[in-house]
Amino acid sequence: MEVFKIMGTDDTPAVTLDAANNIFEISGRSLPEDVNAFYKPIISWIDKYNMAPNAKTIFNFKLVYFNTASSKMLLDVLMKLEDLFKAGKDITVRWQYPDDDEDMKEAGEEYADIVDVPFEQIAIS
Amino acid sequence: MGTNEKRDVRGFLEFVYEFYKSMKEHEITLVYEGEITHQITKAFTSLTESNMAKEEESNMVQKKVFHVMVECLQNISKHADDYGANDYLFSGRGIFMVSKGKDEYSVTTGNAIEHTRMPELKRMLEQVNSLDKDELTELYKKQIKEGRLSDKGGAGLGFIDIKRKTGRNLEYHFLPINDNSSFFLLTSTISRNA
């Protein structure tokens, strides 16, 4: 499967989706001008990946900031990972947040409540 | 003729000076009037960020101010378009201000809205202001789930987020412009001692 990789900017996160090397990560800041246009290809990629996933998938979120418009799209991404879990696959969401950022920690807890998928929270300094 | 021009220039200079003094008095660090675009949002947030960093504001306060600015600016950029009137004064524009006091930052936005939109806006703001922290979390979760289904679906998510991040009620006023529209002012306050 083709590697999906984009560099992060001031207002868009860095994204790596690489099935061959088992790397799945969204990191940085998310406040794109057009959230739908930004997240649509990511969601389509996961859709395709879900048809033939790796034996074990760890999906990393390392966000330092996202706006409310992005929060809905992130939920869409998580729902795709939930699909994988519901299909009986080994999938873990790893939510990494800055250790001094209570809000980002809470955001992870809230997503963990909404979606049915194994969720790990890790504070990073 | 020449005398008149001189008087006008003088009047303008006095206005600028009064305006400057008034900004100082209200501790306004940023004021903008015009169209709010994504580029403007980026410029203002990075400007405010670098100012706060220079003044060694805590990380938490910086993040909260950033959050509030983005949501407020996006509210205007998304909704100012809805204002259909061909009124050169108000169509598609707004005012945006940041002020910094001893104990808090304030972010104020103002834009014209049609009266037909007022009841819904008031209802959302009253609801957000009436809820406590846990209730807001529940409402937030409900709204992102539902908002997912439609592109519009903002449904007050920005307001919810602002109150959750600041822990303060949103202050708002509607000043009548004419029979069909009002000027909507919204102020969010972020404590510097967070």
The tokens for A74 are 């992130």
B101: domain CATH number is 3.30.565.10
For residue B140, the chain A residues in CB contact (below 8 A) are 110
Per-residue pLDDT tens over the stretch B35-84: 888 899 999 999 999 999 999 999 899 999 999 999 999 888 776 655 55
Say if CB A121 and CB A105 are below 8 A apart: yes
Is the pLDDT assigned to residue B12 strictly greater than 70? yes
Is residue B18 a part of any domain in this protein?
Answer: no
Beta-carbon contacts of B12 under 8 Å, excluding residues fewer than 6 positions away, are none
When CB atoms are compared, the residue of A11, A31, A103 closest to B165 is A103
- Give the mean model confidence (pLDDT) for residues B140-148: 83
* ipTM for the predicted complex: 0.90
Q: Indicate if the pLDDT at residue B153 is higher than 50.
A: no
pLDDT at B32: 94
**Helix, coil or strand: residue B53:** helix
**Where does residue B1 rank: exposed (0-12), middle (13-18), buried (19+ CB within 10 A)?**
exposed
Residue in B90, B115, B139, B122 with CA at minimum distance from that of residue B186? B122
pLDDT of residue B31 exceeding 50: yes
Q: Cβ of A68 and B38 within 8 Å?
A: no
Record: contact B144-A69, CB cut-off 8 A: no
Provide the mean pLDDT of chain A. 96
- pLDDT at position A87 is 96
When the pLDDT of each residue in chain B is averaged and rounded to a whole number, the result is: 86
> What would the pLDDT profile of B80-137 be if each residue is shown by its tens digit?
655 555 555 566 678 999 999 999 999 999 988 888 889 989 999 999 999 999 999 9
The single-letter code of the amino acid at A125 is: S
Domain annotation covers residue B7: no
Task: Tell me the residue range of the domain where A65 lies.
Answer: 4-124
Query: How many degrees, rounded to 5, is the angle at CA B108 between CA B105 and CA B113?
Result: 165
Residue B155: what pLDDT?
A: 57
List Cβ neighbours of B5 (8 Å cut-off, separation of 6 or more).
none
Contact between A112 and A95 under an 8 Å Cβ cutoff? The reply is yes
Query: What pLDDT sits at residue B53?
Result: 92
Whether residue B169 contacts residue B133, with contact meaning beta carbons closer than 8 Å, is answered with no
Number of domains in chain B: 1
Write the CA distances from B89 to A5, A84, B33, B41, B114, integer angstroms.
45, 52, 11, 21, 14
Contacts with B137 from chain A: Cβ below 8 Å: 106, 110
In a domain, B19, yes or no: no
- Give the domain range for residue B131: 28-191
Distance from CA of A68 to the nearest CA of B (A): 6
- The three state secondary structure string of chain A is CCCEEECCCCCCCEEEEECCCCEEEEEEEECCCCHHHHHHHHHHHHHHHHHCCCCEEEEEEEEEEECHHHHHHHHHHHHHHHHHHHCCCEEEEEEEEECCCHHHHHHHHHHHHHCCCCEEEEEEC
Q: What is the DSSP string of B7-45?
A: HHHHHHHHHHHHHHHHHHHTTEEEEEEE---HHHHHHHH
| Cβ–Cβ below 8 Å for A68 and B42 | no
Q: Residues B155, B144: contact at Cβ < 8 Å?
A: no
| pLDDT mean over A26-40 | 95
Residue B32 is which amino acid?
A: Y
Cβ contact B144–A71 (<8 Å): yes
Is B70 in contact with A33 (Cβ distance < 8 A)?
no
pLDDT digits (tens, 9 = 90+) for A45-88: 999 999 999 999 999 999 999 999 999 999 999 999 999 999 99
pLDDT of residue B3: 63
Cβ-based contacts of A38 with chain B (< 8 Å): none
* Chain-chain contact of B158 with A68 (C-beta, under 8 angstroms): yes
